Structure 1
Amino acid sequence: MKTAYLLVFDGLSDWEPGLAVAEINKSNEYQVKTVGFKREVAVTMGGISIVPDCTLNEINYTDAAILILPGGEMWESDPVMDLVPVVRKFIGLKIPVAAICGPTVFLARHGLVENKSHTSNGSKYLKNLIGEYPGSELYLNQPSVSSNGLITANGIASVEFARDILGELNIYNTETLESWYNFFKTPWLDD
């Protein structure tokens, strides 16, 4: 069974990866494990307490399927240096990395979007926080972008983010994935 690693930390935006991890965890091929900077309780922005299953140093790359980086205020002010070699290793091993909202700042800050199409909370959001960055010309003004194993999304695109993750992991066939997406994005009307 392959593992989807979800980074957990104090103040993470718990709603952003919610749909993706729920669907991943329901599959028969993947399990979700939480990974923290340390093995201490992380309290999400919504007040949920999570004890990480492992630390960054304990990631098993041989069974890793994806690394999911949810948003939170930490990303805007902290360069998150402990995470740089981990993300570089995922990318080097061609294991997908998915970032929604704030961690797109982390990726751009550390040159990890240099050759990949990507998105964020707006190109001005990135430039205001970090200035010009390698790959800024590949920015796309879209809710979510999947490009060569890197998935990026803006903070209000959790459904698109989940769709791109589920597509990357081939959890559903194309038709089922489209139906899944439409279920969450199309307003339900009583007829």
Structure 2
Amino acid sequence: MKTAYLLVFDGLSDWEPGLAIAEINKSKKYQVKTIGLNQNTVTTVGGVSIVPDYTLDEINYGDAALFLLPGGELLEKSPLPPLVPVVRRFRKLEIPVAAICGPTVFLARHGFLETAQHTSNGKKYLQDLIGDYPGSDLYLNQPSVSDKGVITANGIASVEFARDILSELDIYDPETLKNWYDFFKNPWLED
């Protein structure tokens, strides 16, 4: 069974990765494990306490299927140097990295969006926080973008973000994935 690693930290926006991690865990192919900057219990914005399963230096890249970076001010405001080599290794091994909301700033700040189409909470949002960045010409004004193993989404696109992750991990066939998406986004549609 492959592992989808979810970064956890104080102030994590727990609703943003919720659908994705639920569907990943329901699959028979993957499991979700939490990664902390240390072993300390973290508290999400919603008040949920999480004890990380592992720390950054305990990741087993041999069984890794995804690195998921949920929203939260930490990744928006801090350059977070210990995380850079981890993301770099995921990308070098061609293991997908998914970032929603604030972590898109982290990815742009460290050059991880240089060659991949991407989105965020707005191009101006990224530029106001970090200025011009390599790959800014690849910005797309869409809720979620998946390109070359990099999945990015704005903070109100958790359903689209989950859809792109589920597609990348090939959890559902295209028709089932469309039906799953429509269930959350267009429940009033009739077959």
Q: CA deviation at 1:159?
A: 0.1
Match of 1:109 in 2: 109
Match of 2:98 in 1: 98
The worse-fitting range, judged by mean Cα deviation, of 75-84 and 31-40 is: 75-84
Match of 2:184 in 1: 184
Match of 2:27 in 1: 27
Match of 2:159 in 1: 159
2:96 maps to a residue whose letter is P
Listed as ranges, the matches of 1:139-178 within 5 Å are 139-178=139-178
Q: CA deviation at 1:80?
A: 1.0
Q: CA deviation at 1:124?
A: 0.2
2:171 maps to a residue whose letter is I
Q: CA deviation at 1:74?
A: 1.0
Describe the SS at the equivalent of 1:62.
Answer: helix
Uncovered stretches (5+) of structure 1, i.e. residues with no partner: none
TM-score normalised over the length of structure 2:
0.98
1:77 maps to a residue whose letter is K
Match of 2:70 in 1: 70
1:9 maps to a residue whose letter is F
1:32 maps to a residue whose letter is V
Uncovered stretches (5+) of structure 2, i.e. residues with no partner: none
Q: CA deviation at 1:187?
A: 3.9
Q: CA deviation at 1:188?
A: 3.5
Q: Which runs of 4+ in 1 moved over 3 A?
A: 187-190
2-structure distance, mates of 1:37, 1:20? 21
Describe the SS at the equivalent of 1:11.
Answer: coil
Q: CA deviation at 1:189?
A: 7.6
* Percent of residue pairs identical: 73
Aligned residues: 190
| TM-aligned CA distance change 1:19 to 1:186, over 3 Å | same
1:28 maps to a residue whose letter is K
1:31 maps to a residue whose letter is Q
Q: CA deviation at 1:76?
A: 2.4
2-structure distance, mates of 1:169, 1:127? 31
Describe the SS at the equivalent of 2:61.
Answer: coil
Describe the SS at the equivalent of 2:62.
Answer: coil
1:118 and 2:118 are equivalent in the alignment? yes
Describe the SS at the equivalent of 1:176.
Answer: helix
CA RMSD of aligned residues (A): 1.1
Match of 1:58 in 2: 58
